[in-house]
Every structure is written in structure tokens, then in C-alpha cells.
Amino acid sequence: MSENKVNQNTENQKEAEVKETVENQNPNGNGEEKTGETTPSAKKTEEKKKSRKDKKGEKVAELEEKLMELSDKHLRLQAEFDNFRKRTVKEKADLIKSGGESVLTGILPVIDDFERAIQSLKDVPEDDAGKQGTLLIYSKFREFLKQNNVKEIEALHNDFDVDMHEALTQIPAPEEKLKGKVVDVIQKGYTLNDKVIRYAKVVVGE
């Protein structure tokens, strides 16, 4: 009987060891092995990661679009500034070239008076002091105009040019070759840097 008792204790001990081993392998205590299924919390974590990734992609696309807009605006502003600079340089150059136009134009009637005075002195001897003084002043005025790029418009016996001449009247041409040409100049015309500052007033042959 004592032997049966020992055997029973041994069997009980073995059962306890087996049970402990099973519990260690299955901590959930349900007696089933743990499978590879994703738990709800793991799914939620994955969804959050995916959502953050999508938001980052949208943010990158938005920043790229803004960068393109800024680059386009920069190029436009650069082009506008370049055009503005060129226009300013041209206007400045034109201003320098014709800055004294009003002053030079005001001198032209004085030149006309000198030429009329010289014409009236054609019968006066060349050694006359008054004539010499008049010619000297006239030559200085002419030199002043030349230094400032003021040129006389060639008109007499040239073809009539509406861009250079102002026709006061037409008369029968004294010669066949003078038809459509300037046969007389009433008032001389002048240009400043190739720009007409006074048209030549002329008579045209027909």
C-alpha cells in the first residue's frame, strides 16, 4: 500500500510539471498557441503611420507648387526690371543728347538775323570793322551750333522731303529738272542729333 502511495505522488508531480510547462508556453492561459494575427492596437498604429506619411506627401507637393510659383514670379520680376533698366538708360541717353534742345532752338532766330545782316552788308568793303565784327560773331555762333551737333538741313535744289521740309507754296519750275524739287528756301531748317528741331520752309517747283 505504501508503494501505491509513492506511485501516486510521482504521477501527481509529473502532472504538475506538465501543466506548468503548458502554462509557460501559453501565457494567455487559454491553452492555444499564439498566432501571427495583427491586434487592433497594431492596426491602429499602422494606420497612424500611413496617415502621417500621406500628410507628409501632400505637404511636399504643396511646397513644390509654391516653389514653382515663386520661381515664376522671380523670373517675371527680373525680366520687368531688365526692361525698366534698358528703358531708363535709353531715356537718359535721349535726355543727354537733346537736353539743350530748347536753348539751341532759341538761338536759331539769332542766326537768321545774322545771316540777313550779312546779306545786307554784301556791298560793304571787306575791311570794314562793322562787317568784320558781324562775321566774327556769326562764325562763333555757327561753331557753337556745330559743337552741339546742330546741322543745317540741305534743301535748295534737293527733292522735297516731308520729313525735313515744310512747303509754303508751289511755283512753276524754272527748269524741267527742278520739278518736285526745292527751288527756294525761305527759312533754313536744322537738326539736333539727326532729330529735326526746325523744318526748312521752302518753295517747291511744279
pLDDT 10s digits, 41-77: 666 677 666 777 777 878 888 888 888 888 888 888 8
Q: Which CATH superfamily is domain 151-206 in?
A: Head domain of nucleotide exchange factor GrpE (2.30.22.10)
More confident residue, 67 or 32: 67
Residue type, 146: K
Domain boundaries, the chain: 151-206
- Look at residues 148, 51, 141 and name the one whose alpha carbon lies nearest to residue 97: 148
Are the C-beta atoms of 138 and 115 separated by less than 8 Å?
yes
Q: pLDDT grade, residue 201 (50/70/90)?
A: very high
What percent of the chain stands above pLDDT 70?
Answer: 75
Which residues are CB-contacts of 32 (< 8 A; sequence separation ≥ 6)? 26
Is residue 206 pLDDT above 80, yes or no?
yes
At residue 23, the pLDDT reads 53
C-alpha distances in Å from residue 169, one per residue of 112, 153, 154, 186, 205:
21, 19, 18, 10, 9
Distance CA 59, CA 66 (A): 11
Q: What is the chain's alpha carbon radius of gyration, rounded to the nearest angstrom?
A: 54
The reported pLDDT for the residue numbered 102 is 80
Statement: residue 178 has pLDDT above 70: yes
Local confidence band at 12 (pLDDT 50, 70, 90 cut-offs): low
Q: Sort 199 into a burial class: Cβ within 10 Å, 0-12 / 13-18 / 19+.
A: buried
Average pLDDT of the segment spanning 125-147: 90
